Amino acid sequence: MGSPPSSFSSSKADKRKQGLGWVEWLRGWFYVIHEFLFQRIMASHLQNPLPLPPLHDLTCIITGSTSGIGLQTARQLAESGAHVVMAVRNPKAAHELIKKWQDEWSGKGLPLHIEVMELNLLSLDSVVRFAEAWNARLGPLHVLINNAGIFAIGEPQRFSNDKYEEHMQVNHLAPALLSILLLPSLKRGSPSRIINVNSIMHYVGFVDTEDMNVVAGRRKYTSLVGYSSSKLAQIMFSSTLQKRLPAEAGINVVCVSPGIVHTNVARDLPKFIQVAYHLIPYFLFSAQEGSRSTLFASTDAQVPEYCGMSKASKWPVCTFISHDCRPTNPSEEAHNIATSNEVWGRTLDMIGLPSDVVERLLEGEAVRCRYGPA
């Protein structure tokens, strides 16, 4: 079950929290197990597929839409009339899916409005290229869905060419860069939303802002540490971004938990665990069931109201939508404003953007990123 929590530092000189306390850690695992055992009951009021309104005026970018939750999300949005941009690392697979979906949709309505753009989140250059190509169209973007993610269970620690731990890069840093660089298009599409597909596993995560790559030796690296920290970092960054975006910009930031879902996420598991995974279908959501909270967060009219409340008050976290499509509270650690501010600053530094990037982009200024074409 991952590494045990470190205790709070007892040294007077170093009051920094070094990890989750035991109580927080046990409570975190309680929430994870609770979601696993009871998600089906908690979401029993939801239809599957989630009914969507006509979405003909909506343009959505969805990362990682060739598999699992992202694939289902892309297909359902397109079938409801949205213009869907599949932002993927394997464009050939995306084109094959579109052909299949068009064939199956034929005779049921207008052809699906879907296109493919290449995006590899393991390369921050690729993220900048993608955002520049999209922004150059000078069109609106209504929903950005940061869905793509990795959980390399049991694998050794790996680093991207940008020299960042891979979970942190794919699940947090690259989506953060994409979200910020697409702000001009999201402003044109206002009211618009950034939806981050997060996870209940953030409850057992901890972000050491001085060691986002987990290399300092203070914590032992496991894939669980990599994954849960990246998901918590995403919530903390999103909370700060939501506060920094002025209400007039009309852009909201939401994190969602899809539930515990039967997808390709288990592809790296040892064979015997994969077999066990298939033996527990009652508890696991299908990918279509797992896409409901993302679809709800992307389209439901109540969501901007929830976001407005979190912006207006002193509430420290962004809106978090649970697998049952209800707003809920992220972990206690996610409420730590001081750490969220540090995550914000550290993330901007790692993705090569200045601290006033949001304000400048919203004012229409060009901002240089350390990554991307020279």
Ligand X SMILES: NC(=O)c1ccc[n+]([C@@H]2O[C@H](COP(=O)([O-])OP(=O)(O)OC[C@H]3O[C@@H](n4cnc5c(N)ncnc54)[C@H](OP(=O)(O)O)[C@@H]3O)[C@@H](O)[C@H]2O)c1
Catalytic (active-site) positions: 227
| Least distance (Å) between residue 287 CB and ligand X | 6
Q: Which is nearer to ligand X, 121 or 204 (CB)?
A: 121
Cβ density class 34-58: b for 16+ within 10 Å, e for less: ebeeebbebbeebeeebebeebeeb
Chain residues that interact with ligand X, rule: CB under 6 A = 63-64, 66-70, 89-90, 119-122, 147-151, 170, 197, 199, 258, 260-261, 263-265
Nearer to ligand X, 132 or 365 (CB): 132
The backbone torsions φ and ψ at residue 298, rounded to the nearest 5 degrees and listed phi first, read -80, -25
Q: Strands, E, within the chain: which ranges?
A: 59-63, 83-88, 114-118, 143-146, 192-197, 251-256, 319-321, 327-328
φ and ψ at residue 9, rounded to 5 degrees: -65, 135
Distance (Å, whole) CA 19 – CA 283: 30
CB of 126 vs ligand X, minimal distance in Å: 8
Contact by Cβ (8 Å): 266, 273: yes
What's the min distance (Å) between Cβ of 134 and ligand X?
Answer: 15
CB 145 to ligand X: min, Å = 10
Q: Kindly state the smallest distance separating residue 148's Cβ from ligand X, in Å.
A: 3
320 by DSSP, 3-state: which?
strand
To ligand X, the closest distance from the beta carbon of 182 in angstroms equals: 15
Distance from C-alpha of 168 to C-alpha of 231, rounded to nearest angstrom: 8
Tokens encoding 226: 């990599």
Nearer to ligand X, 145 or 348 (CB): 145
Q: With the C-alpha atoms ordered 183, 344, 193, 147, is the resulting torsion angle positive or negative?
A: positive
Query: Could you tell me the smallest distance in angstroms from the CB atom of residue 161 to ligand X?
Result: 11
Amino acid at site 7: S
Beta-bridge partners for 261: 285
Q: Closest CB to ligand X among 67 and 209?
A: 67
The Cα–Cα gap between 153 and 270 comes to 9
Give the three-class secondary structure for 255.
strand
Cβ(3)–Cβ(219) below 8 Å: yes
Closer to ligand X by Cβ: residue 170 or 194? 170
Dump the DSSP string for 329-363.
---TGGG-HHHHHHHHHHHHHHTT--TTHHHHHHT
Residue 172: name the closest of 132, 117, 214, 138 by CA. 214
Q: Which is nearer to ligand X, 201 or 358 (CB)?
A: 201
CB closer to ligand X, 78 vs 361: 78
